[in-house]
Copies of this chain bind each other. A is one copy, B any other.
Amino acid sequence: MNPTACILVIGNEILSGRTQDMNVQYIARRLAEIGISLMEVRVIPDIRETIVTTVCDVRARFDHVFTTGGIGPTHDDITAPCIAEAFGVPWTIHSESFRLLEAHFPPGEFNAARQRMATLPEGAIPIRNPVSVAPGFSMGNVHVMAGVPRIMRAMFEEVSPGLTHGTPVTSISWYALGLYEGTLAAGLSDVQSCHGQVDIGSYPFHRPDGRRGVALVSKGVDARAVHQAASAVRDLIATLGFAPVEGEPPP
């Protein structure tokens, strides 16, 4: 069994609809590539009790928790002290991060607000931020990252090599134009029954230019089983009289 993961998106701006999340898909893809199973994503508001309670809940249920958002210098950036509270440890200056940030800002500009970004839960291991210096951190199995996508990605690539990996997910997609789900459902159900180790997903598409069809995605950690299931999916499409095309449908 691969290790499991949960993403916590901490941010009122997602819940208000102001911002389109651009982090979940990146993390989800990368986790599949390194063999960690993403089991849940939660978006929660910048409310202390909610963050603390949710972190306590999910860190007990999943092998890894990745958080995004709330680690900047302003009053609404409360992720770090909440993680400290969830782990029952003080939230204190991390001297190495303090020195890095102090050196980064011009004299006189490393003010109290910016010093908050060098304040971590006691015992946290900083995650290097090659973009703007202010670190993320890992506290136990909770990996705390920035919300800005460019910084989040850099932090994920810093922290992920050190995580316990599993078997990468193999994923094979076949699609067919003009084929509808209702036509293939019975046959696809049989294919799924014969390939129980593989997740077969059926995703209809309907493009603005009128092209319609369905993509059938086989995925799992047993590459051989995934290839066998995908072959059966391809054969099903052909049997129904449609032309199977490997890959994801064009946008």
In the assembly, what is the distance between CA of A184 and CA of B112, in Å? Answer: 11
B28, B43, B171, B189: the one contacting A41 at CB < 8 Å is B43
Q: Which residues of B contact A13 (CB under 8 A)?
A: 201, 203, 217
Give A50-72 as 1s and 0s: 1 = Cβ < 8 Å from B's Cβ atoms.
00000000000000000000001
> A206 near B150 (CB under 8 angstroms)?
yes
A47–chain B nearest beta-carbon distance, Å? 9
Q: Is the CB of A148 within 8 A of B12?
A: no
- Interface of chain A: mostly helix, strand, loop or mixed: mixed
Please report which residues of chain A, range 1-15, place their CB below 8 angstroms from some CB of chain B when the two chains form the complex. Answer: 9, 12-15
Which one of B16, B24, B42, B186 lies within 8 Å of A40 (CB-CB)?
Answer: B42
**A contact residues vs B (CB 8 Å cutoff):** 9, 12-21, 24-32, 38-46, 72-77, 105, 109, 111-114, 116, 148, 150, 169, 171, 181-186, 188-189, 192, 199-204, 206, 217, 219, 248
Distance, CA A204 to CA B70, complexed state (A): 12
- Measured between beta carbons, the chain B residues less than 8 angstroms from A19 are 25, 203
Shortest CB distance A212–B (Å): 10
Q: Are B32 and A16 in touch, CB under 8 angstroms?
A: yes
Q: Is the CB of A74 within 8 A of B189?
A: yes
In the complex, the answer to whether A15 meets B42 with C-beta atoms within 8 Å is no
CB-contact partner of A75 in B15, B192, B217, under 8 A: B192
